[in-house]
């Protein structure tokens, strides 16, 4: 219990404030709680679908695809893809965090993540409709143009300030040249073992045929060949440390 | 539920069912991983929601109206941007509120500053963002968003 409180100091601190407010001013406490109920409902509607979505992206969208669409070299097309992704989304900005984190892990660039988060926050399509209703089309269009321009510039500036190493990832990042195979993802197709027989061989794991490392580190002279294996892997189960971008 | 949330649910559920049929194990493994990430974020998000409720109990939307309509438009813009950074009120409350202000003849600049920082700058979500994306990222994004929100509102003041 004590550990639980320690790990969630923020939540328990806020709950403590509520307790205090209820003692001092019952009425205000009820107002605050009433406000919160609305936000809790909103969260319950959006978070389960975000949870499923992050899992599905993780399982099915190959790393190469994300890198190509949203990675460092995706250029202006990548920016517009990010803008579109953020605009068609639903839910408040905290719902965007898990999705953005998953995309980042799969090779999206920092700049494009800023574009997705910002677009998700300010220029969602349902919000634009609301804006037209209350402030008129001219107001909405002008604000949209300025905001989109600002978001692109922000993405560019942030990508210059923040490098991918500045972002914390839960899993240990692998060392330079280290080769890892995700046992859970591997489907045992044996393409890698055929392409680089010096590095990969097929084995059994819990009755399932999977690839395992023959060598844990890549030799520089074999770089091309090992990277070819990685790129050929149909489920992107192979990772190579540092040289990812090469 | 707005139409986009419904579409998101439908598309995700179809994808999920397809995924379960195609590879149940892979799907469940990915869900386990996703659960780990969500599990660590959930207490933070709950804290944020309770905090917003608390803030709004002390700064109700009607009070925000007073800040938006300040006599000095430049000062009002900066203050509105600050108020927008602190609060996180839903769009369907914010738009009618701002709309009625502008109809009553208030300056456009503070209104735009408020609308933009309301969703783009998150003081209450800052800690969560910092934990997930690092201090440098969260600080850069929020500060830039604040700066650009002011710039956007000034430009809007010229155009509208």
The string of pLDDT tens digits covering residues B63-88 is 777 767 667 888 889 988 998 898 87
Question: What's phi and psi for B84, nearest 5 deg?
Answer: -65, -35
Residues A96 and A116: beta-carbon distance below 8 Å: yes
CA-wise closest residue to A133 among B92, B2, B1: B92
Q: Which of B142 and B29 is assigned the larger pLDDT?
A: B142
Q: What is the pLDDT of residue B101?
A: 79
- Is pLDDT above 90 for A117? yes
Residues A111 and A158: beta-carbon distance below 8 Å: yes
CA-based nearest residue in chain A for residue B93: A130
Yes or no, beta carbons of B19 and A51 under 8 Å apart: no
| Distances A61 to A10, A57, A65, A156, A241 between C-alpha atoms, Å | 34, 5, 7, 25, 20
DSSP label of A221? G
CA distance A106 to chain B (A): 13
Listed ranges A208-222, A228-242, B44-58, B98-112; the one with the highest mean pLDDT: B44-58
Question: What is the rounded average pLDDT of the residues B14-22?
Answer: 94
Q: What is the pLDDT of residue A244?
A: 43
The number of beta carbons lying within 10 Å of the beta carbon of residue A45 is 17
CA-wise closest residue to A167 among A236, A104, A97: A104
CA-based nearest residue in chain B for residue A31: B57
Question: What is the rounded average pLDDT of the residues A12-36?
Answer: 92
A10: nearest CB among B12, B16, B47: B47
- Residues of A whose CB is below 8 A from B133: 97, 100-101, 104, 113, 167-168
Yes or no, beta carbons of B148 and A153 under 8 Å apart: yes
Question: What's phi and psi for A206, nearest 5 deg?
Answer: 50, 45
ipTM of the complex as predicted: 0.89
Residues B117 and B149: beta-carbon distance below 8 Å: yes
CA distance B62 to chain A (A): 14
- Hey, is the C-beta of A18 within 8 angstroms of any chain B C-beta? yes
Q: What is the pLDDT of residue A174?
A: 61
The string of pLDDT tens digits covering residues A168-209 is 886 545 667 778 888 777 888 888 888 888 888 888 766 778
- Hey, is the C-beta of A168 within 8 angstroms of any chain B C-beta? yes
Sign of the dihedral defined by the CA atoms of residues A193, A243, A76, A46, in that order: positive
User: How much of chain A, in percent, has pLDDT values that exceed 70?
Assistant: 93
B133: nearest CB among A40, A139, A167: A167
Question: What is the rounded average pLDDT of the residues B124-140?
Answer: 93
The string of pLDDT tens digits covering residues A68-97 is 999 999 999 999 999 999 988 778 888 999
What gap in Å lies between CA A197 and CA A73, rounded to an integer? 31
What gap in Å lies between CA B134 and CA A170, rounded to an integer? 12
Helices (H) and strands (E) in chain A, counts: 11, 4
Q: What is the pLDDT of residue A203?
A: 82
pLDDT-derived band at A229 (thresholds 50, 70, 90) equals: confident
């Amino acid at each position: 219990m004590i550990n639980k409180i320690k790990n969630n100091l923020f939540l328990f601190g806020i709950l403590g404030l509520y307790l205090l407010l209820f003692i001092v001013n019952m009425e205000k406490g009820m107002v605050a709680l009433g406000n919160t109920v609305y936000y809790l409902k909103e969260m319950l509607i959006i978070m389960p679908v975000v949870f499923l979505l992050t899992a599905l992206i993780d399982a099915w969208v190959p790393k190469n695809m994300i890198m190509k669409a949203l990675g460092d070299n995706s250029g202006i097309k990548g920016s517009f893809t990010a803008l579109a992704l953020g605009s068609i989304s639903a839910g408040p900005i905290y719902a965007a965090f898990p999705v953005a984190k998953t995309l980042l892990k799969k090779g999206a660039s920092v700049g494009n993540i800023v574009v997705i988060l910002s677009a998700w926050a300010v220029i969602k399509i349902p919000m634009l409709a609301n804006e037209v209703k209350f402030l008129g089309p001219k107001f909405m269009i002008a604000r949209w143009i300025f905001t989109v321009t600002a978001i692109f510039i922000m993405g560019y500036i942030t990508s210059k300030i923040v490098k991918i190493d500045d972002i914390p990832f839960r899993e240990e990042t692998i060392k330079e040249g280290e080769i890892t195979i995700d046992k859970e993802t591997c489907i045992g197709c044996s393409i890698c073992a055929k392409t680089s027989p010096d590095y990969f061989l097929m084995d059994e794991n819990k009755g399932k045929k999977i690839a395992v490392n023959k060598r844990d580190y890549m030799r520089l002279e074999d770089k091309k060949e090992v990277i070819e294996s990685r790129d050929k892997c149909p489920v992107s189960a192979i990772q190579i440390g540092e040289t990812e971008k090469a | 539920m707005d139409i986009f949330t419904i579409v998101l649910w439908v598309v995700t559920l179809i994808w999920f069912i397809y995924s379960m049929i195609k590879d149940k194990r892979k799907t469940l493994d990915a869900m386990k991983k996703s659960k780990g990430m969500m599990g660590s974020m959930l207490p933070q998000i709950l804290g944020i929601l309770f905090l917003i409720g608390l803030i709004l109990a002390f700064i109700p939307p009607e009070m925000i109206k007073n800040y938006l309509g300040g006599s000095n438009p430049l000062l009002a813009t900066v203050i509105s941007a600050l108020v927008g950074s602190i609060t996180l009120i839903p769009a369907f409350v914010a738009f009618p509120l701002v709309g009625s202000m502008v109809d009553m003849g208030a300056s456009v600049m503070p209104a735009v500053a408020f609308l933009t920082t309301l969703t783009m700058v998150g003081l209450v979500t800052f800690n969560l963002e910092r934990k997930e994306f690092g201090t440098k990222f969260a600080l850069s994004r929020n500060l830039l968003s604040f700066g650009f929100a002011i710039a956007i509102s000034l430009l809007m003041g010229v155009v509208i």
